[in-house]
């Protein structure tokens, strides 16, 4: 017995329903035609965006980090970057977009600001950002004026704590107790 094939010309896929293969059948159900009609980027962006009072939430495919992704023939692109480029303009060279609302699903261009990668990191909640926001060392000494020591690798240290550690180390080497 010969298997039934799709009735669309130049398609050798197996029959699924109403004389068509699964691909053509679902395309007819979705668009009303078997022809491939590429969707323009703005239509695809709007189709997957839910506009709330504050944020525009991406309802399409998302990454593990909850960032929206949109697929094109050229490849994948983050949805918030596409929205910014479509509605505002190109992202300046060397800059990245910072979510001012801190919602990774948001694609509202008003909630995005082009900043340097370093600035974006410091606005976040990672260890580098947390340490940069500290105004005092762990013993309560201020990170300011003559008390601040900037190491060559970019870390900050408290000069009073450095002096206290040196004094303790020196007295330990001499066998004295503080």
Is the distance from CB of 113 to CB of 97 less than 8 angstroms?
Answer: yes
CATH fold of 39-132: Homing Intron 3 (I-Ppo) Encoded Endonuclease; Chain A (3.90.75)
Lowest mean pLDDT among 37-41, 82-86, 95-99, 167-171: 37-41
What pLDDT, on a 0 to 100 scale, did the predictor assign at position 178?
56
Lowest mean pLDDT among 4-8, 17-21, 29-33, 159-163: 29-33
Distance between CA atoms of residues 178 and 168, nearest Å: 7
Is the four-CA dihedral 97, 98, 99, 105 of positive or negative sign? positive
Q: Is the pLDDT reported for residue 3 higher than 80?
A: no
- pLDDT band at 105; cut points 50, 70, 90: very high
- pLDDT band at 177; cut points 50, 70, 90: low
What pLDDT, on a 0 to 100 scale, did the predictor assign at position 41?
85
What pLDDT, on a 0 to 100 scale, did the predictor assign at position 28?
87
Q: How many CA atoms lie within 13 A of 172 on its CB side?
A: 6
Q: How many CA atoms lie within 13 A of 49 on its CB side?
A: 21
32 vs 178, which has greater pLDDT?
32
Lowest mean pLDDT among 37-41, 96-100, 107-111, 165-169: 37-41
- pLDDT band at 85; cut points 50, 70, 90: very high
What pLDDT, on a 0 to 100 scale, did the predictor assign at position 73?
66
What's 62's DSSP letter?
A: B
Distance between CA atoms of residues 124 and 67, nearest Å: 16
172-173-177 Cα angle (round to 5): 30
Residue ranges, CATH 3.90.75.20, the chain: 39-132
Task: For the chain, give the number of residues.
Answer: 178
Q: Is the pLDDT reported for residue 36 higher than 80?
A: no
- pLDDT band at 79; cut points 50, 70, 90: very high
Is the four-CA dihedral 123, 126, 128, 132 of positive or negative sign? positive
């Amino acid at each position: 017995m010969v298997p039934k094939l799709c009735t669309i010309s130049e398609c050798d896929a197996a029959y699924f329903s109403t004389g068509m293969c699964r691909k053509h059948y679902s395309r007819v159900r979705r668009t009303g035609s078997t022809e491939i009609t590429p969707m323009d980027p703005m239509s695809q962006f709007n189709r997957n965006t839910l506009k709330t009072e504050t944020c525009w939430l991406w309802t399409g495919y998302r990454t593990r980090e909850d960032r929206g992704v949109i697929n094109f023939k050229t490849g994948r692109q983050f949805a918030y970057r596409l929205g910014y480029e479509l509605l505002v303009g190109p992202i300046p060279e060397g800059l990245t977009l910072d979510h001012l609302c801190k919602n990774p699903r948001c694609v509202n261009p008003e909630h995005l600001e082009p900043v340097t990668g370093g600035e974006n990191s410091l606005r976040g909640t990672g260890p580098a950002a947390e340490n940069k926001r500290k105004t005092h060392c762990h013993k309560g000494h201020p990170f300011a004026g003559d008390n601040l020591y900037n190491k060559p690798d970019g870390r900050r240290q408290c000069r009073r704590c450095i002096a206290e550690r040196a004094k303790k180390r020196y007295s330990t080497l001499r066998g004295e107790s503080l």
